[in-house]
Amino acid sequence: MSAIEQGRIRTGDNTSAEKLRWLTPAAGAMAYPFLLDAFHLAVSPTSGEMSTARLVLAALCLFAATAAPLLGLACAWRLTRAAPSSFELRARRLAYVTIAAPPLFVLTGVGLGLLHIRVSDELVWVMGWLAAGLYVLLGSEQERPAKSAAIAPSITRWRVVHGVAAAVILLYVAFHLTNHLLGLLGPEVHAAVMKVGRTVYRSSVIEPILVALMLFQVAVGMRLAWRWSALPADAFRVFQIGSGMYLAAFIVTHLNSAFVSARAVHHLDTNWAWASGAPTGLIHDAWSIRLVPHYALGVFFVLAHLASGLRGVLIAHGVATAVANRIWATGLAAAGLIALAIMSGLCGARI
């Protein structure tokens, strides 16, 4: 093991200061809604033109909010070690959870609305992360027995099933993302293509199967993430776990928003107007601005997670690691561009 690797996995003596340092991702998650508030304040209409300073402030706030999950990824990687203490393992898993802050904040807001609980979602949000932080801090200092990095046969089987189910879902994801990309041509084009697609994926046979597959992926993915989060991992594995954590929260949140809130409770059509926050729009609405990082990272992570899975398959089938890594990096770059294009369309850009 190199000196760099030894330095990365040795997290110190878990002093009070050390413990608080590893809770930085939770602090970042707590700050997430307030970064969105600052963005909304900066872009709120005024009597005159928006100044350059306000534009820069707005851009920085939105960038910081969207990049918040990276803090959780970095901390999860830094906390990787062969025999973590109870505290270190809890802190690592909490870091993974913070990656999913954008969809979890949407779920908090929608959930409180559905339950008719008239409490600030930001208050609930902060209290929830404080409780999670206290849970981590109460972990003992005792070292856990080292676990073998070898994968149990049952876990291997679940990985295969997870991959096969993902290949099936990919058909829907490819259509759905393409449909959203066509929003750059206008809502009418998006609606026309969606109408054709709905004859298939909203049929009485396909839709229940698709929803069941989505929930199955969440359950299996969480099982795999729980297993892998306790083991030493390189940056590629950490990214795969983290992106999977985001997707699990995103799927649950999106199903709740679309099926429960929109379709079942409020009887709304989940069309372009619903997704883009019409008539106010995603950018200028104080509540809907949370959907910008939520959607953008959802698109990015679903494609990046698939790229991570593809990398593993390629290496397992004899492809050189360097080649697989380049394919993975290309996939991430493409995911970022597609996410940017889709969000540009949802925020009003047209070509």
Secondary structure in 3-state letters for the chain: CCHHHHHHHCCCCCCHHHHHHHCHHHHHHHHHHHHHHHHHHHHCCCCCCCCHHHHHHHHHHHHHHHHHHHHHHHHHHHCCCCCCEHHHHHHHHHHHHHCCHHHHHHHHHHHHHHCCCCCCHHHHHHHHHHHHHHHHHCCCCCECCCCCCCCCHHHHHHHHHHHHHHHHHHHHHHHHHHHHHHHHHCHHHHHHHHHHHHHHHCCCCHHHHHHHHHHHHHHHHHHHHHHHCCCCCCHHHHHHHHHHHHHHHHHHHHHHHHHHHHHHHCCCCCCHHHHCCCCCCCCCCCCHHHHHHHHHHHHHHHHHHHHHHHHHHHHHCCCCHHHHHHHHHHHHHHHHHHHHHHHHHHCCCCC
pLDDT tens digit string along 66-119? Answer: 998 899 999 999 988 777 888 999 999 999 999 999 999 999 999 999 999 999
Q: What percent of the chain has pLDDT over 70?
A: 91
Q: Report yes or no: 61 and 38 within 8 Å, Cβ to Cβ.
A: yes
Structure tokens at 44: 């709120």
Q: Which of 143-157, 174-188, 240-254, 284-298 has the lowest mean pLDDT?
A: 143-157
pLDDT tens profile 37-52: 999 999 987 656 788 9
**32 and 101 in contact (C-beta within 8 Å)?**
yes
Structure tokens at 299: 């698109």
Give yes or no for residue 10 having a pLDDT over 80: no
